[in-house]
Structure 1
């Protein structure tokens, strides 16, 4: 059985800070992939049946601004991860911290896909 190391409050904060870049890159890539899948599939699956489907420079700009707002809100929730870790990780174990990060990260990556693919259904 391996021994768990306890983290100080500043080490916990640093642990979360180090992963914020990975989180944001993941969000941006997820949004980019989701929008392009939406665009590609929309052209082949929606446009033949609904001529009003279109992706213009305006819609791309509008979607980008909206998605950046989502990223800002997601980062607020990311910051709550530190507080959830601090208050609910009673044994101060890294496994809890990793599971909390991975759960939030996975959930955040799914949201853009759900949003784009439920827009027309």
Structure 2
């Protein structure tokens, strides 16, 4: 099970409690800086990696190509980092600067999602 939107908190104890109960945590919504800015999200993921939890996290931006509940043009103006390239262009380099290894990044982006779908199947 993946508990999503965990990237909206910096409460490490809370995140470790979720992992301790057997769930993966979705460190998603990168780019939605109105809730928590990128630096804080990166710091939280880096801390969780330092504590050995890269194998229980998945990363995502939660961006979408179309929304009918916001006026056109509002997203790029209000949330300029909420797009498909933000993780690759901004988040991954910031994680590496914080000491997150390529192996940990691969686990969060490739290995963990694959294991989730192999064990549990699609929704």
Q: Please, what TM-score do these two structures have when normalized by structure 2?
A: 0.25
Q: Please, what TM-score do these two structures have when normalized by structure 1?
A: 0.25
Higher relative contact order (CA 8 A, sep 6+): 1
Comparing both structures, which one devotes a greater share of its residues to strand? Answer: 2
